[in-house]
């Protein structure tokens, strides 16, 4: 089996994998980082969003082998020193989750939105940018509020 090496949440990892292994399988099954979820497996729902070299991507639609040498951040990599990332804290504060299944992807996408669009986000921008993330229980109202609050908190 071919070998792949990358950096995940700041840690160097490598493994021999079946060529068919998707990044999300590599994260969940090889590295046991199960915060990244598989919702639809057809690149629509966004539950599997992680950052690769600083950009949000859907980890169910990329081969692990493609990411040789890449720098990957998952939801597990956001909190520092036992303290939630401001976006995580904003989701908690605004009750932006019910079952929580979509939350890791929502948060990774939201941090990416802030990275690209800055810390002041209007509702229309947030809703448009969250197009690739589906929530099937609470609806989006509190998620949108959380993203706006998290974006502001990230400036501090």
Partner 1 sequence: MYQFTYHRVDSARKAINLAEKNEDAKFLAGGMTLLPTMKQRLASPSAIIDLNPAADKLAGIEQRGRAIVIGAMTRHYDVANSKIVQDAIPALADLAGMIGDPAVRHRGTIGGSVANNDPAADYPSAVLALNATVFTNKRKIAADDFFKGLFETALEPGELITKIVFPIPSKAAYMKFPNPASRYAMVGVFVARRGKEVRVAVTGAGSNGVFRASKFEAALTAKFHVKSLEGVNASADGLNSDIHADAAYRAHLIGVMCRRAVNKANGK
In the complex, which residues of this chain contact partner 1 (CB under 8 A)? 2, 18-20, 22, 41-44, 46, 49, 52, 55-58, 61-63, 65-66, 68, 109, 112-113, 116, 129, 131-133
User: How many helices and strands in the chain, by DSSP H and E?
Assistant: 5, 5
Cα(first)–Cα(last) distance of the chain, in Å? Answer: 46
Query: Are 44 and 134 in contact, with CB atoms under 8 Å apart?
Result: yes
Residue among 80 and 124 whose Cβ is closer to partner 1: 124
Minimum distance between the CB of residue 78 and partner 1, rounded to whole angstroms?
17
SS3 of residue 71 by DSSP: strand
Cβ proximity to partner 1: between 113 and 121 the closer is 113
User: Which CB atom, from 20 or from 156, has the smaller least distance to partner 1?
Assistant: 20
- State the Cα angle at 141 between 134 and 119, rounded to 5°: 90
| Degrees to nearest 5, angle at CA 105 with 102 and 106 | 75
Question: Min. distance of Cβ 156 from partner 1 in angstroms?
Answer: 24
Closest distance between partner 1 and the C-beta of residue 106, in Å?
A: 12
**Shortest Å distance, C-beta 7 to partner 1:** 17
């Amino acid at each position: 089996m071919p070998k792949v090496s990358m950096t995940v949440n700041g840690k160097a990892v490598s493994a021999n994998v079946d060529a068919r292994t998707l990044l999300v399988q590599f994260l969940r099954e090889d590295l046991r980082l199960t915060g990244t979820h598989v919702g639809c497996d057809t690149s629509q729902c966004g539950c599997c969003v992680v950052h690769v070299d600083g950009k949000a991507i859907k980890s169910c639609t990329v081969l692990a082998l493609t990411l040789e040498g890449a720098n990957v951040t998952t939801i597990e990599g956001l909190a520092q020193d036992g303290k939630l990332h401001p976006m995580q804290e904003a989701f908690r504060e605004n009750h932006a989750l019910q079952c929580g299944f979509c939350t890791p992807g929502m948060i990774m996408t939201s941090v990416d939105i802030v990275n690209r669009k800055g810390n002041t986000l209007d509702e229309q921008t947030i809703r448009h940018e969250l197009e690739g993330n589906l929530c099937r229980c609470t609806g989006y109202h509190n998620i949108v509020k959380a993203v706006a609050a998290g974006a502001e908190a990230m400036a501090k």
